[in-house]
């Protein structure tokens, strides 16, 4: 069982996945900071000094002034501001991933199409090897 586990761990795709998860976690922190510290403050200011994270609906009906006060009291709240924040986070992450993948695809060399190895027989329209002197299907001389 340990040999099998060792083989599994040594496979390239497992290590690639581990590296991807670690880099993804670090990248997620960078994006979260970018959204929370760079994008959302001007967006909130543009929309009338709104802090999306503090938008909520008090389901208890007691009328708490802030989300923190409602949470301290244990009141049920509908935190739609956090939802909006997560949607913006997702859209920014998706856009950044799109840009990265697009750039990587541009950097890849475009492979030239492979040289043809077959041709079509002019008499029977069968695919035959490029060097053929006679069609193996209709036996016509080429």
One domain for residues 91 and 124: no
One domain for residues 84 and 28: yes
Q: Count how many domains the chain has.
A: 2
Q: Which domain holds residue 134?
A: 115-142
One domain for residues 107 and 130: no
One domain for residues 85 and 24: yes
d(CA 5, CA 13): 14
Q: Which CA distances in Å does 136 have to 49, 115, 122, 128, 140?
A: 80, 22, 13, 8, 8
Cα within 13 Å of Cα(51), Cβ side: 6
Within the chain, where are the H helices? 2-10, 12-33, 40-46, 67-73, 80-107
One domain for residues 96 and 120: no
One domain for residues 124 and 98: no
One domain for residues 58 and 128: no
One domain for residues 100 and 39: yes
pLDDT at 18: 82
User: How, if at all, do strands 118-120 and 77-78 pair?
Assistant: unpaired
pLDDT at 12: 67
d(CA 22, CA 30): 13
One domain for residues 31 and 77: yes
Residues of the chain with pLDDT under 50: none
One domain for residues 83 and 133: no
pLDDT at 61: 86
One domain for residues 35 and 59: yes
Helix (H, G, I), strand (E, B) or coil at 19: helix
One domain for residues 10 and 33: yes
pLDDT at 76: 92
């Amino acid at each position: 069982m340990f040999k099998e586990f060792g083989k599994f761990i040594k496979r390239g795709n497992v290590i690639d996945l581990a590296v991807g998860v670690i880099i993804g976690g670090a990248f997620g922190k960078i994006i979260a900071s970018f959204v929370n510290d760079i994008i959302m403050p001007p967006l909130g200011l543009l929309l009338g000094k709104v802090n999306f994270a503090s938008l909520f609906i008090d389901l208890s009906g007691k009328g708490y002034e802030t989300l923190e006060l409602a949470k301290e009291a244990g009141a049920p709240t509908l935190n739609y501001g956090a939802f909006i924040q997560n949607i913006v986070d997702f859209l920014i992450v998706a856009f950044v991933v799109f840009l990265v993948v697009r750039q990587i695809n541009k950097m890849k060399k475009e492979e030239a199409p492979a040289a043809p190895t077959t041709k079509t027989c002019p008499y029977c329209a069968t695919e035959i090897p490029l060097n053929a002197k006679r069609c193996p299907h209709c036996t016509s001389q080429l």
